[in-house]
Amino acid sequence: MFIRNFLNQSMIDRRRFLIGSSLGVGALAASGGQWPAAAASGYSLASSIRSLSNAFHAAWNKGSEAFATSVGEHYQALVTEGNSEKGLTDIKALLAKVGDKTILAVDPNDSPDARPIVEAVAAAKGRVVTVWNKPDDLHPWDFGDNYVAHLSFSGVPAGEQTAKALFDTFGGEGGIVALGGIPSNVSAIQRKAGLQKALAANSKIKLLDFQDADWDSTKATNIVAAWLTRFGGDIKGVWAANDSMAVGALEALRAEGLAGKVLVSGTDGTKDAVQAIKNKEMAATVDWDPLWIGGITLSLGYHAATGKFKPSDESRAHREFYGTGALITQADVEDYWKKHVEATPTIDWNDLWGRLSGQITYN
């Protein structure tokens, strides 16, 4: 019993690093973490995600496991490895096996993938919740109760809030440089739009240059190094569309002895970025809480399947909605660290709608 509790705790802890003591746990987690359910009623829960090799989806998987454990149902991770075909094939195989007992949370590899996935689940009378990507004209309410909900996050407030926190670190007057993600990604576009909103509202801030570093740390380091040549001391802050690039930018500054003098902002809430905020080297980041995403999406599907609520009776704001990203700044990082890094937050999986911030809007 002790071992099982230890394993459960390890799986739920999103911050566990696998080298060393918990190597065996890592192997278990990677294989989908299946063990006999306590009071299974035959539902089969699954999360279809890109891979387990990035912190975001690894934490998502742990959230899914945590929810499945809490209701004593079988859970498995379906990994697409960035391959849309594999994603769909795995889902169809699951549907063929468990049919209407399927409860699926899916991060479609690409927007168009969402349609065949939703249609396949609806045809098998299972339940599906999509996250991040779907075509604009695909809506849960067109599929009765089977397509339970779509969850996304808007990058606009994230880009805007982190930019404002960055501006505050140097008194709101001077030049900044900005690093964007892969330019065609929706989140890169939205976060950049957020930055531009913040710039429009602060006329004393000048955007010296904007370059796409494609979410990549190494590219970010090299670009920031070149910027130091071009702009030198005119750079008062570096805005980055995600934490990988923010950390890369920070290291370029550190190599020149500028870490902590010129601050950086990012988005995603990765552990090293939060640590850098704690060290007063970064200004802000936004945490999407993938642990919550992984659990709550399955919880929505599960509660719809078990009849706790009927999706088609819910308002559209409960079918297509934005989650809430949590802004972390130097002012509140200590509190965040205690609650989310040193401890694993307990999440109430029955609170289905508590973290919504509005119905999704389309342009």
Partner 1 sequence: MIAPTKFRLASAMPVLVLVGLCVVISLIEPRFLSLDNLIRIAAASTAPLMLALGVTFVIIMGSIDLSVEGAMAFSSAVLAAGVANAANTGLNLGLAALPLVVLGTALFGALVGFIHVFLKVPSFMASLGMSFIGLGMATVLLGGERVVITDPYVRALTLTRVLDLPIAIYVAAIMFLAAWVIENHTIFGRHVYALGGAEHLVVASGVNANRVRVLAFALSGFFIGVGSILASARLGASSVSIGSGQLFTAISAIVVGGTALSGGSGGVASTLVGVLIVMVLNNGMVIVGLPTFVQQGVLGVMIIIAVLLNQRNRVLPVVK
- Candidates 70, 111, 185, 275; binder of partner 1 (CB under 8 A) is 275
Beta carbon of residue 328, minimum distance to partner 1 (angstroms, whole number): 17
d(Cα 234, Cα 175) in Å, to the nearest integer? Answer: 6
Q: Which stretch binds partner 1 (CB under 8 A): 46-54, 142-150, 193-201, 316-324?
A: 46-54
- Candidates 46, 52, 176, 264; binder of partner 1 (CB under 8 A) is 52
Q: Which residues pair with 74 in a beta bridge?
A: 44
What the block records as the tokens of 98 is 């468990």
- Candidates 115, 251, 278, 326; binder of partner 1 (CB under 8 A) is 251
Strand order in the sheet with 263-265: 205-212, 174-180, 235-240, 263-265, 282-287, 326-329
Beta carbon of residue 261, minimum distance to partner 1 (angstroms, whole number): 15
Which CB, 55 or 360, lies closer to partner 1? 55
Which CB, 224 or 305, lies closer to partner 1? 224
- Candidates 21, 350, 357, 359; binder of partner 1 (CB under 8 A) is 21
d(Cα 308, Cα 324) in Å, to the nearest integer? Answer: 24
d(Cα 346, Cα 344) in Å, to the nearest integer? Answer: 6
Instruction: Return the HEC string of 285-317.
Output: EEECCHHHHHHHHHHHHHHHHCCCCCHHHCCHH
Q: Does 107 bind partner 1 (CB under 8 A)?
A: no
Residues 151-180 that bind partner 1 (CB under 8 A): none
Q: Does 31 bind partner 1 (CB under 8 A)?
A: no
Q: Who's near 275: CB < 8 A, 6+ residues apart? A: none
Number of residues that bind partner 1 (CB under 8 A): 46
d(Cα 205, Cα 173) in Å, to the nearest integer? Answer: 5
Beta carbon of residue 234, minimum distance to partner 1 (angstroms, whole number): 12
Least Cα distance to 91 among 68, 67, 73, 118 occurs for: 118
- Candidates 207, 272, 312, 326; binder of partner 1 (CB under 8 A) is 272
Give the interface with partner 1 as residue ranges (CB under 8 A): 15-21, 23, 26-27, 30, 51-55, 57-58, 183, 209, 211-212, 214, 216-219, 221-223, 225-230, 244, 247-248, 251, 254-255, 270-272, 275
